[in-house]
Structure formats: C-alpha cells, structure tokens
C-alpha cells in the first residue's frame, strides 16, 4: 500500500532568463571582490568535499552549459526535447 503526500509549492512568478545573467559572465566573476569571495567560500570546504575550481568562471561556465539551453527554450515557449548527461551534456532526444 502506497501513501502519497501532496505538497503545494507557492509560485514566485520569476521569469526565466532568455539571456545569460551578468553574474555568469567573466565581467562579473573576474572582479577582484567576487574572486575574493569565491576563494573564501572554496577554502571553507574540507579536502574530502572535492576539488572546487580555483576560477569561479569555470563554475559559471558549467552552470551556463546546464541551465541556459533549457531556460532559453522555456522562456520562449519552445519545445526543448533534450536530455542531459554529465558526460556529454545536452543531447537531442531520439
């Protein structure tokens, strides 16, 4: 016997970005203050947490590769039709 629980999550009506947010650009990640914050954050992890990239832009590039294709499609109402795999990224569904 299975019991399902329904949780209602309130919508924030936040628009999906159709263009890359400035926070994911080299213009932002390369700022000295942003770099200092990233270094402080990164150094707060133990060695067992894995090696976080030294360059925040590497993290931003990974976010862009994962989020932006789906975000752009959703923002425009287009059919996305792709599947994500960590090795090859987004691939057209067959």
Residue 15 and residue 47: Cα distance in Å, rounded?
37
Note the pLDDT tens digit of each residue in 55-91.
999 999 999 999 999 999 988 888 999 999 989 999 9
Q: What local confidence, expressed as pLDDT, does residue 5 receive?
A: 60
Residue 44 and residue 39: Cα distance in Å, rounded?
9
For residue 14, the SS3 value is coil
Residue 93 and residue 72: Cα distance in Å, rounded?
17
């Amino acid at each position: 016997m299975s019991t399902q629980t329904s949780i209602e999550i309130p919508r924030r009506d936040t628009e999906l970005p159709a263009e890359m947010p400035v926070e994911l650009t080299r213009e932002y990640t390369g700022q000295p203050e942003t770099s200092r914050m990233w270094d402080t954050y990164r150094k707060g992890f133990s060695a067992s947490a894995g090696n976080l990239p030294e360059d925040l832009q590497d993290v931003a590039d990974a976010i862009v590769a994962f989020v932006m294709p789906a975000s752009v499609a959703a923002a425009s109402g287009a059919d996305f039709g792709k599947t994500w795999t960590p090795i090859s990224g987004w691939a057209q569904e067959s």
